[in-house]
Amino acid sequence: MEVRKVQRSGSTFYLYLPASWCKANLIGNDSQLILDMSSEGNLVVSTNPQSGEEKQLMLSFSENGGKLDSRLINMFIVASYLNPVRSFKIKLNKPISSLDILDQKRMMSSIELVEFGEDFISCESTVSVEDPDIILKTMIRKVINMTRVMQTNEAKELVQRYEEEIDRSNTLIQKSAISSLMFKRSSKLRHIELFYTAMLSKSLEGLADHLILLTSKQTRSLAEPVHALLFSLLKCLDALDYRSAAAFATEVLSAADRFDDKDIHAHRIKALLQQLSETLIDWAVTNEVESKK
């Protein structure tokens, strides 16, 4: 690491570029450089004039002896959507049947901009997310509302709708994190904040996936404590210090000790709640370390 002093001439601030770097990148008097800002707030100097442009992604598949598994197609659609590209197109080796298209649309309900053609899948534009922290808190409230609906006799379709919205929120948060880590500034959050936000989002999405599968009997014993814990999670995020994180983790441990570990959903919900508390503790300790600088 090399430290250089910033110099000033009138109202202009300037910094000399390292001669070795200029030589290695063929920088001369008329060279043009790209200046961008990372999600860490750092200034990024790039020699590639195209680095600031979003790319187009094209994937082409061929397979002998049959069509591609719809689950595999789904994985590539999600991966293409999560990356910072202006558009993507996935060319398939065989036409997609109307039933395949219907199944894919159901699987991709959280990604509204994806289109399905006869033998291709495309997305002409992808959204950016500037406030993943706000989406995370909205996501928590949606899980809270979902657990409330589960404890009433309201329409089951509403529970399904909440679960789809939670999936979409998680997808947008993961996309924001990946884009920022690739120096495509799409969020005001720093990299470390995006990392923890994405970790919490993934655990919440998994929690919703298991909650929606509960029977009426399981709902009575699991939905209510989860409902209460998620309110505590919101309060902890507002404070985000090690004391509030410890208080939330204690609540989780106390509630989870009453879960039936022989029930697969109770076991997974317990594990996901513990993941949430561990991530919050990690984040709170990171904040504590930073405060000592």
Structure token pair of residue 212: 């929606």
Collapsed DSSP state (helix, strand, coil) of residue 57: strand
Burial of 112 (0-12, 13-18, 19+ CB in 10 A): exposed
pLDDT for the residue numbered 226: 93
Query: pLDDT for 18-66, tens place per residue?
Result: 888 888 878 888 888 877 766 556 777 877 654 445 678 899 876 554 5
pLDDT < 50: residue spans in the chain: 50-52, 65
Dihedral sign for Cα atoms in the order 260, 263, 266, 270: positive
pLDDT for the residue numbered 126: 60
pLDDT for the residue numbered 105: 63
How high does pLDDT run on average in the chain? 83
Q: Is the pTM higher than 0.75?
A: no
Q: How far is CA 69 from CA 62, 66, 149, in A?
A: 12, 9, 35
CB proximity list for 121: less than 8 A, separation 6 or greater: 73, 77, 89, 90, 92, 104, 114, 115
pLDDT for the residue numbered 52: 47
Cα separation, 99 vs 116, in Å, equals 12
Q: Shortest CA distance to 175 belongs to which of 215, 212, 131?
A: 131
CB proximity list for 289: less than 8 A, separation 6 or greater: none
Cα separation, 72 vs 58, in Å, equals 16
pLDDT for the residue numbered 51: 47
Q: Shortest CA distance to 222 belongs to which of 256, 192, 197, 184?
A: 256
Cα separation, 97 vs 116, in Å, equals 10
Cα separation, 136 vs 200, in Å, equals 8
Cα separation of the two ends of the chain: 19
Contact in structure between 230 and 140 (CB atoms under 8 Å):
yes
- 26 dihedral zone (left: phi>0; alpha: psi -120 to 50; beta): left
